[in-house]
Amino acid sequence: MVAIGDLYAFAGLLQAVASRSLVPRADPDNVVLVPGLKSDMKKGDVPAQWAEGYPKKWDFEDFYLQFNKPEPGDRFSGIVTENEKHLVMFNGSHATFVDLDTNTTVTTFGLEITDNIIVGGLSVRSNPQGGYDLFTDTPAVVFRRRVGSDFKLIGGVSSYPTGAIGDFDKNGRMATLDGIIYDLNNPDVDNVTFKNPPRITGMSFSGDAKYISTIGWEDKSADLWNATSGEKILQFPPTNAQNWVTKISPNNKHVAIGLGTGFIQIYSLANLTAEPKVLGPFNSWIRAMEWSPDSKWFATPDYGRVQLWKFPEGEHVQTWEVDGFPGLELRMPTGLCWLDNGNKISWMYRDGRYMYDFEQNLKWWWTLGLDDHSWGGGGVQFLKNRGYVATADGDSLMRFWKI
């Protein structure tokens, strides 16, 4: 009988042989698969340079933390708290807090979710009364567990049977895909309910928490709502496309709508009836997009590439693109995010994670090797005060890399 691990290794070898887009590095101590690129990030006319010692594969991290023995069935998530004091890990049924000063477990507890319910990833948010709120969800229900500043559980599990998490605003409110906004810090306040919402696929709060934009895949909708009253402000012109994602810029000036036609429309919040800026064409449906924290940059992934756009001009300025060849199905980069207050940007491509520093013109790459396996994961955080990047990798490990 062939071992599962051998099958993963063989599949990884076939993938490397079949595609020029992943090139084995000739370093016997650190064999990593690195995308061959048509174009890379750059500063001026100078392409990004490798940070010292990079690229790197798993097992070359400075240290790692592990919740339990990695299992393919784990729905693993790992998040470092905003104050960088604790790591929270989740395996689908239990959560654990680890003190990052000592790398010791502070507490571990079950989320009291029945075994036949499969929940998604983990969200961790500070509670204004101290401690943390932990959130997981399904397409129909959001679950919440509160941990006090002494890391003791407060009350039981709370559930919100109104769809998956759509977005959180700066005031601690949570919007769900069924069109309901909960004030998590003030449970006595009435919920905000959208008036006759469509079937929502994605949503985005404005930075000032006054507005929320929504899009719908099934009914091809795109709408803007008053986040205080639930009244619809505007139904955007019909796109006649299956829409997947929307993002309002942090400075509250632009609403971006990703269309199934392979274009992005950018509307001005100050003049919603004006014709939108149109970005594209892209080589696939738009399923992700991210504004930088200062709203000056807009990042868009499609098959085999990530592009950057400058705002308010809407000007295309950068492209990271994989060197594929005809007949090879390129993957879409995932896990796109801005780090270090917008000084760095990161994404995943074929189980590897890329990070680029705009000021230093440096790039990092962390990935599995030919003999590694992967079944998910992929989150990343930059711990500025500690000087580490933390990656939640596909073998249910949280790895810490010195930067």
**CATH number of 87's domain:** 2.40.10
> Which pLDDT score, from 0 to 100, does residue 195 have?
93
Query: Do the domain assignments include residue 190?
Result: no
Q: Band of the pLDDT at 258, cuts 50, 70, 90?
A: very high
How far apart CA 1 and CA 10 sit, in angstroms, is: 15
Pairwise pLDDT comparison (28 vs 175), residue with the higher score: 175
pLDDT over 60 (residue 300): yes
> Which pLDDT score, from 0 to 100, does residue 284 have?
87
Most confident of 28-32, 117-121, 200-204: 200-204
Residues ≥6 apart with Cβ < 8 Å to 147: 97, 107, 109, 131, 132, 133, 134, 153, 154
Nearest residue to 372 (alpha-carbon basis) of 3, 4, 7, 9 = 9
At residue 5, φ and ψ (nearest 5 deg) are -60, -35
Asked whether the beta carbons of 257 and 204 are under 8 A apart, the reply is: no
- pLDDT, averaged across the chain: 88
How far apart CA 395 and CA 59 sit, in angstroms, is: 11
- Whether a cis peptide bond, with omega within 30° of 0, leads into 301 is no
Indicate the pTM of the whole model. Answer: 0.90
pLDDT over 70 (residue 311): yes
Average pLDDT, integer, range 207-220: 93
Instruction: Kindly state the tokens that stand for 223.
Output: 């709408």
Q: Band of the pLDDT at 115, cuts 50, 70, 90?
A: low
Average pLDDT, integer, range 292-318: 96
Asked whether the beta carbons of 391 and 77 are under 8 A apart, the reply is: no
pLDDT over 80 (residue 389): yes
Please give the C-alpha separations between residue 94 and each of 71, 77, 107, 305, 341, in angstroms, as whole numbers.
14, 11, 11, 36, 31
Summarised one tens digit per residue, pLDDT across range 41-55 is 999 999 999 999 999
Average pLDDT, integer, range 333-339: 96
Q: Name the percent of the chain lying above pLDDT 70.
A: 87
Q: What total number of domains does the chain contain?
A: 1
Which of 86-90, 106-110, 138-142, 279-283 is least confident? 138-142
Q: Name the percent of the chain lying above pLDDT 90.
A: 67
Q: Band of the pLDDT at 20, cuts 50, 70, 90?
A: very low
> Which pLDDT score, from 0 to 100, does residue 240 have?
82
Average pLDDT, integer, range 236-251: 91
pLDDT over 60 (residue 86): yes
Query: Do the domain assignments include residue 117?
Result: yes
Instruction: Kindly state the tokens that stand for 187.
Output: 């449970």
Dihedral sign computed on CA atoms, order 391, 130, 340, 203 = positive
Query: Do the domain assignments include residue 35?
Result: no
> Which pLDDT score, from 0 to 100, does residue 377 have?
67
Query: Do the domain assignments include residue 170?
Result: no
How far apart CA 263 and CA 368 sit, in angstroms, is: 33
DSSP for 66-101, written as a single string: ESSS--TT---EEEE-TTSSEEEEE-SSEEEEEETT
Query: Do the domain assignments include residue 332?
Result: no
Virtual CA dihedral for 77, 300, 322, 35, nearest 10 degrees?
A: -30
Average pLDDT, integer, range 188-213: 94
Q: Which DSSP state fits 332?
A: P
105: containing domain: 68-161
pLDDT over 70 (residue 4): no
Query: Do the domain assignments include residue 103?
Result: yes
Query: Do the domain assignments include residue 273?
Result: no
How far apart CA 192 and CA 183 sit, in angstroms, is: 9
Which of 30-44, 173-187, 332-346 is least confident? 30-44
pLDDT over 70 (residue 15): no
Q: Are strands 180-183 and 344-349 parallel, antiparallel or unpaired?
A: unpaired
pLDDT over 70 (residue 239): yes
If you count them, how many residues does the chain have? 403
Query: Do the domain assignments include residue 390?
Result: no
